[in-house]
Amino acid sequence: MAVPRTSFFLFVLILVGAWTLQAWPQGIPGPQGAPPPQAPQQPSLLGAPQPAPQPTQQVAQPTTPPRNTLAVVVLDPAHGGADQGARGSSGIAESDVVLSFARLLRISLEAQGLRALLTRQANEDPSFDDRSKTANAQRGAIFITLHVSSTGPAGTVRVYSLPQDGAPSMTAAATPARPLLVRWDSAQQRYLDLSRRLAELIQIQMAQRFRGSVETPTAAPVRQLRTVAAPAVAIEVSSVSLPDRVPLDKMAPVLADGVARAVAAFRLVYEAGVK
Amino acid sequence: MSRGLKTTIAILCVLVVFGLITLPSLRQAIQRVSGNPRTEEQARREVMQIPISTPTDVKVKAQMYWLSATSPVSLEAATIELPLSADPVERAKQLLIALVADAPTPNQRTLPPDAILLAFYLQPDGTGVADFSDALSAETPSGIQSEQLTVDSIVQTLGANVSLIRQLKILIHGQEVETLAGHLDLSGLFPVPSATAAALPVPPAPGLGQSGSAIPSPAVPAQAKQTPN
């Protein structure tokens, strides 16, 4: 019986060894539902406990940009799918025009060294919240929603941001590293000042490029902006009432260049944390 | 022929005669029922289209905000003579009906001609609730600017002529909607410019204080602030 008993012990030993090797990098798991074991605390010089170094626990950190870095511009071609938005008598659909604008604008922004994301790539209609979600999932983002009006002087551009309602608004510099919980319905409230600055910079560019455009941005309760937790503006080009799309298509590269320059200027404001 | 059979035939004959007599009226009733059924909104619309008149109506000079004749991207105050009630709710209804119906020219309209005010309520805290028909949403030109002009014309007209309304909620067919026509947020309350009634002073409505002052409101579109709920 000695040989089988020895074999049994050897077998158990091998099992324990294998289990120990497998468990070594993560540490030994506690019982189900119990918190993971804490690293021992070491007293600091000031007496406050400091967490001990954890040499074996290397958690891959996402490559997030430092705070106050403008990393991505989320472009929102409004409407889409069954919702064509404004529609002219000649058949121009807002949803088609803004998608073309967004694609050109992405190229111009990328030429400025910025990453650009579109909330829709084709003729689809994400909800307002889904579009906001695309922006809110990014760190260091700004949001630009693109529209074409059904009225107004043709060839002009207006830029909108949400109006101030007296609630405190944060600057980029004041934005905490770990943002406080914010209400989805009023996510834009913290960014009103920055949104206004972005709108001003874009509107100036538009006034220089498109005769008849106003020189100061307009405050309006645009639904899409309300749930964006980042500097956010709406740009509205006039209009779908044109007899054909050619004038709007001619506006697109000029608009894209102007917006990209404004965003580049805003990047300095944003990253410097200037109010 | 048995007696029972004769009785049955007699009864049937009476029934046929009775049927023939009542047939024309039955046909008329069927035609009435099978005609286009009136929806609830059509019924309310017929009532609302009639200008409202109340015992306290006094002809006053009301300040209305329509699109400017020279610049269609801004509002312009126009003074018209309207019989307005002393009761702020009735007064607001009269103004909004006039805003739809009495635009100087079709190009100066800010609300679609088919838009109907279905109801208007005023809460004690000064919150007005205007309930419009679907036409307001469906026929307002889509766009941030055009939708903002529509809302501004409503709030500025109310602000200029009804002093008790502090803020306004807009409903479409009794429902809260996300946007007016795809852009402007209707989920919140629009601040109404403070009491700037241009109309002549009117006697106070029972239990509701006095309405009316004489300071005109500027013709610049209001910044329609929105307070998310």
Complex prediction ipTM = 0.72
Domains in chain A and their CATH numbers? 72-272 (3.40.630.40)
- pLDDT of residue B36 exceeding 60, the answer is no
Q: Does B141 contact A at CB distance below 8 Å?
A: yes
Mutation target vs B (from A92, A151, A218; most B CBs, 10 A cutoff)? A151
Q: Which residue has the higher pLDDT, B226 or A200?
A: A200
Q: Which residues of A touch B143 (CB under 8 A)?
A: 86, 147-152, 236, 239
Report pLDDT for B41. Answer: 53
Select from A151, A160, A164 the Cβ nearest to the Cβ of B146: A151
Average pLDDT over residues B38-61: 69
In contact, B79 and B198? CB cutoff 8 Å: yes
Q: Picking from A149-158, A200-209, B30-39, which range would have the lowest pLDDT averaged per residue? A: B30-39
Report pLDDT for A17. Answer: 62
pTM summary value = 0.71
Report pLDDT for A18. Answer: 61
Chain B residue at shortest CA distance from A153: B73
End-to-end CA distance of chain B: 85
Share of chain A above pLDDT 70, in %: 72
pLDDT band at A272 (very low <50, low <70, confident <90, very high): confident
Report pLDDT for A48. Answer: 36
Report pLDDT for A12. Answer: 73
Report pLDDT for A275. Answer: 46
Residue B39 CA to residue B32 CA, distance in Å, equals: 15
- pLDDT of residue A131 exceeding 70, the answer is yes
Report pLDDT for A147. Answer: 97
Counting beta carbons within 10 angstroms of the beta carbon of residue A246, is it exposed (0 to 12), middle (13 to 18) or buried (19 or more)? exposed
Q: Picking from A79-93, A164-178, B142-156, which range would have the lowest pLDDT averaged per residue? A: A164-178
pLDDT band at B40 (very low <50, low <70, confident <90, very high): low
- pLDDT of residue B176 exceeding 60, the answer is yes
Report pLDDT for A164. Answer: 86
Nearest partner of B186 among B201, B209, B169, judged by Cα: B169
Q: Picking from A63-77, A102-116, B61-75, B111-125, which range would have the lowest pLDDT averaged per residue? A: A63-77
Chain B residue at shortest CA distance from A152: B73
Highest mean pLDDT (candidates A63-77, A255-269, B20-34)? A255-269
Average pLDDT along chain B? 82
Structure confidence by residue, pLDDT tens digits, A17-51: 666 555 443 333 333 333 333 333 333 333 333 33
Angle among Cα B56, B59, B62 to the nearest 5 degrees reads: 110
Q: Which residues of B touch A221 (CB under 8 A)?
A: 184-185, 188, 224-226
Report pLDDT for B32. Answer: 78
A147/chain B closest Cα distance in angstroms: 8
Phi, psi of B66 (to 5 degrees): -120, 175
- pLDDT of residue B70 exceeding 60, the answer is yes
Q: How many CB pairs under 8 A join A and B?
A: 91
Q: Which residues of B touch A226 (CB under 8 A)?
A: 185, 187, 226, 228
Select from B142, B183, B223 the Cβ nearest to the Cβ of A222: B183
* Contact assignment for A85 to B228 by CB distance below 8 Å: no
* Contact assignment for A219 to B223 by CB distance below 8 Å: yes
